[in-house]
């Protein structure tokens, strides 16, 4: 695989493009928004500068990496020579089904189609194509250039050969791939989201405050971030939608999202990206919020 197309140039798409280009792959980055593409290239350049400062790469490496990335607003142009397409567009099931149906028609027959979805069924996405055996989950973690893990998710029809090819490719990117099967939340979010939900319940029931809950998990369990701070970082809307996927997918009430989480999302308190969640990010630094009425 030499030519990689990344569809969606947001938070994850720019990181995925960065990592492929830095490892010598030719990258076509596609987004419907010209502005998102410009921002993505600026972000990649800034992150490469940071790596130069840390003496991890040279100025020439930076220039060569940037030279390997081309940007497109037309999907057709971006995928026509792809060996692999990694889709990292907005997390919306109808949108992804539409994108995969189009990519399937526009990309070469041999191309493998991967998705970076956090929660949507790979099997469902694969069913929107005529090549379900070549569709796979490639779940990178945020921030992509830093985080080692790639959760490689086999859909119901994904072949062993394609799975091994993607495992090998992930290793070539300096990542550590882990193979998992396609069930709601895969492994990462199936375990992480109930923990975050339980932390919100603990707050909701007044067992402890935000700081206390995060401190217990940081100092007691050696987590680098407490679960409420992590929820703010991921986005409370994203956490809620993944919990709903788990709840619907398994039909088990243990995944029911905490009413406080639902209320906060309804009120537009989405965490870091909206400036306020369990903490406030108004001045660029995190401050504790005591706002939720149920909380101590």
Q: Which positions lie near ligand NAD, rule CB under 6 A?
A: 7-13, 30-33, 36, 88-91, 95, 99, 116-118, 139, 142, 234
Q: What gap in Å lies between CA 209 and CA 195, rounded to an integer?
A: 16
Residue 139: active-site member:
yes
Among residues 151, 170, 197, 247, the one annotated as catalytic is 151
CB of 205 to ligand NAD, least distance (A): 28
CB of 181 to ligand NAD, least distance (A): 18
Among residues 28, 116, 119, 139, the one annotated as catalytic is 139
Answer whether 221's CB lies under 8 Å from 198's CB: no
Q: Given 3-state DSSP classes, what are the helix, strand and coil percentages for the chain, each rounded to the nearest 5?
A: 50, 15, 35
Q: What gap in Å lies between CA 10 and CA 149, rounded to an integer?
A: 19
CB of 295 to ligand NAD, least distance (A): 25
CB of 212 to ligand NAD, least distance (A): 26
Among residues 3, 189, 197, 241, the one annotated as catalytic is 189
**Widest distance between CA atoms in the chain:** 58
Answer whether 249's CB lies under 8 Å from 277's CB: no
Residue 172's φ and ψ, nearest 5 degrees, are: -65, -20
Strands 3-7 and 26-30, by their bridges, are parallel
The DSSP H or E segment spanning 114 is: strand 112-115
Among residues 3, 14, 118, 121, the one annotated as catalytic is 118
Q: What gap in Å lies between CA 283 and CA 285, rounded to an integer?
A: 5
Neighbours of 212 (CB within 10 A): 14
Pick 28 or 116: Cβ nearer ligand NAD: 116
Residue 291 Ramachandran class (φ > 0 left, ψ -120 to 50 alpha, else beta): alpha
Pick 166 or 295: Cβ nearer ligand NAD: 166
Which residues on adjacent β-strands are paired with residue 71? 29
Task: Give, in degrees to the nearest 5, the angle at Cα 11 between 248 and 5.
Answer: 95
CB of 238 to ligand NAD, least distance (A): 7
Pick 7 or 295: Cβ nearer ligand NAD: 7
Pick 5 or 158: Cβ nearer ligand NAD: 5
Neighbours of 154 (CB within 10 A): 20
Pick 116 or 197: Cβ nearer ligand NAD: 116
Cis status of the peptide bond prior to 143, with omega within 30 of 0: yes
CB of 255 to ligand NAD, least distance (A): 18
Q: Which residue is nearest to ligand NAD (CB)?
A: 10
Pick 30 or 258: Cβ nearer ligand NAD: 30
Residue 60: active-site member:
no
* Active site (catalytic) residues: 118, 139, 151, 189
């Amino acid at each position: 695989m030499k030519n990689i197309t990344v569809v969606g140039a947001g938070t994850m798409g720019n990181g995925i493009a960065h990592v492929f280009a830095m490892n010598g792959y030719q990258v076509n980055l596609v987004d419907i928004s010209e502005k998102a593409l410009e921002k993505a290239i600026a972000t990649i350049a800034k992150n490469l500068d940071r790596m130069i400062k840390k003496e991890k790469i040279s100025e020439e490496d930076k220039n060569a990496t940037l030279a390997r990335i081309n940007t497109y607003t037309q999907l057709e142009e971006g995928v026509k020579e792809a060996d692999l397409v990694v889709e990292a567009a907005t997390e919306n099931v109808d949108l992804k089904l539409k994108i995969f149906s189009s990519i399937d028609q526009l990309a070469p027959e041999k191309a493998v189609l991967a998705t970076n979805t956090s929660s949507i069924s790979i099997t469902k996405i694969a069913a929107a194509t005529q090549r379900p055996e070549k569709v796979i989950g490639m779940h990178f973690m945020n921030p992509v250039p830093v985080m080692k893990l790639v959760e490689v998710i086999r859909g119901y029809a994904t072949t062993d050969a394609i799975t091994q090819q993607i495992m090998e490719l992930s290793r070539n990117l300096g990542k550590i791939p882990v193979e998992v099967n396609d069930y709601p939340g895969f492994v990462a979010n199936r375990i992480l989201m109930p923990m975050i939900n339980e932390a919100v319940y603990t707050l909701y029931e007044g067992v402890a405050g935000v700081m206390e809950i995060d401190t217990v998990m940081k100092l007691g369990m050696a987590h680098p971030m407490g679960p409420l701070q992590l929820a703010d970082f991921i986005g409370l809307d994203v956490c809620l939608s993944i919990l709903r996927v788990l709840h619907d997918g398994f039909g088990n009430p243990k995944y029911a999202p905490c009413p406080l989480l639902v209320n906060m999302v309804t009120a537009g308190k989405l965490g870091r990206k909206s400036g306020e969640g369990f903490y406030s990010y108004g001045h660029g630094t995190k401050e504790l919020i005591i706002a939720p009425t149920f909380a101590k």
